């Protein structure tokens, strides 16, 4: 039996009942977070918590107990017996249930808070050999910085990639490469690590932030500047990042083979440091 968290209680996932009037259901009026459990600790929970607070603030959703996110995540790991395996926590907060209307309900309407946990098998093969990804026009809205549950443009785009056997869809907006449908993307050009700067056109990934720190510690030059699609031929290495894929090399981007078609040297250096930080945390 899977145990979920729902509006203050831990209960069987099957017993969760969400109103058809819930604004998450009617308007995708809500935010979410995904955090990874590494058999003993959550990866950078502080950054996930602050991003959750920011997303809630941007949508003006008031979840007064937001600071309990780490504790409730721990409790879900415990109650689902996931302590000794890789796992994920998904948390969603919507504006709550109220008669359908475009204006917000009164401040007395409590948000709907749902979270669950599941065991997770890391995709080691993709991390070692790399993935092939599609390039496509970014059809999303202008607030990609908010981790909103309104992901239709992401899912439609990802499905296109998936159907032709590709592992991610990377977006291009006004000729500039932004990010993936559920990942950030990095490039190595002229020996420099390049990635789209934080803006309303990308989600500020927790993995992205840690990769930039790691690259800096490794003495790799960083350029937080969007790469033009027309410069693909100058890209020597590419990788995507997110909570589940960590650092996953990209060997083919929009039909173009990147570098020698195998994971590059800088990518591997960053991957190794990322993995060793996780390993060291296990041993402490």
> Which C-beta is closer to ligand PLP: that of 97 or that of 170?
170
CA dist 266 and 272 (Å) reads: 10
CB of 99 to ligand PLP, least distance (A): 31
In 174-260, at which residue ranges do the beta strands (DSSP E only) sit?
A: 176-180, 184-189, 192-195, 222-224, 227-228, 237-242, 246-253, 256-257
Collapsing DSSP to helix, strand or coil, 67 comes out as helix
CB of 165 to ligand PLP, least distance (A): 21
> Which C-beta is closer to ligand PLP: that of 133 or that of 206?
206
Q: Which two tokens stand for residue 68?
A: 């309990």
CA dist 113 and 97 (Å) reads: 11
The two counts, helices (H) then strands (E), for the chain are 7, 15
Residues classed as catalytic:
147
> Which C-beta is closer to ligand PLP: that of 78 or that of 281?
281
Taking 3-state DSSP, the helix, strand and coil percentages for the chain, each rounded to the nearest 5, stand at 30, 30, 35
> Which C-beta is closer to ligand PLP: that of 96 or that of 140?
140
Please report, as ranges, the residues that interact with ligand PLP according to CB under 6 A. Answer: 179, 182-184, 203, 205-208, 241-243
Q: Enumerate residues 6+ apart whose C-beta is below 8 A from 18.
A: 24, 25, 97, 112, 114
CB of 154 to ligand PLP, least distance (A): 6
CA angle 106, 107, 108 (to 5 degrees): 90
CB of 106 to ligand PLP, least distance (A): 31
β-pairing, 30-38 with 86-94? antiparallel
> Which C-beta is closer to ligand PLP: that of 62 or that of 204?
204
Instruction: Say how many C-beta atoms besides its own lie within 10 A of residue 270's C-beta.
Output: 27
- Which position's Cβ is nearest ligand PLP? 205
CB of 189 to ligand PLP, least distance (A): 20
Collapsing DSSP to helix, strand or coil, 104 comes out as coil
């Amino acid at each position: 039996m899977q145990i979920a968290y729902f509006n203050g209680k831990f209960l069987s996932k099957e017993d969760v009942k969400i109103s058809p009037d819930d604004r998450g259901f009617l308007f995708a009026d809500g935010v979410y977070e995904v955090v990874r459990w590494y058999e003993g600790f959550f990866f950078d929970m502080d950054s996930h918590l602050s991003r959750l607070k920011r997303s809630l603030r941007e949508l003006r959703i008031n979840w007064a107990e937001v600071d309990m996110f780490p504790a409730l995540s721990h409790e879900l790991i415990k109650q689902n017996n996931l302590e000794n395996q890789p796992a994920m926590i998904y948390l969603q907060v919507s504006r709550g249930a109220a008669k359908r209307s475009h204006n917000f309900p009164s401040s007395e309407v409590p948000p709907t808070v749902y979270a669950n946990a599941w065991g997770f098998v890391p995709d080691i093969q993709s991390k070692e050999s790399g993935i092939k990804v599609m390039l496509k026009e970014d059809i999303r809205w202008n607030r990609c910085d908010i981790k909103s549950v309104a992901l239709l443009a992401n899912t439609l785009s990802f499905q296109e990639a998936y159907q032709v056997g590709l592992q991610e869809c990377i977006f291009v907006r006004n000729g500039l490469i932004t990010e993936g449908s559920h990942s950030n993307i990095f490039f190595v050009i002229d020996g420099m690590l390049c990635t789209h700067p934080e803006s309303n056109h990308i989600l500020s990934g927790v993995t992205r932030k840690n990769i930039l720190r790691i690259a800096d510690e490794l003495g790799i030059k960083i350029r937080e500047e969007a790469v033009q699609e027309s410069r693909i031929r100058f890209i020597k290495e590419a990788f995507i990042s997110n909570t589940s894929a960590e650092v996953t090399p990209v060997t083919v981007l929009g039909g173009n083979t990147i570098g020698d078609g195998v994971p590059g040297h800088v990518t591997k250096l960053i991957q190794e440091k990322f993995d060793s930080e996780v390993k060291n945390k296990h041993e402490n």
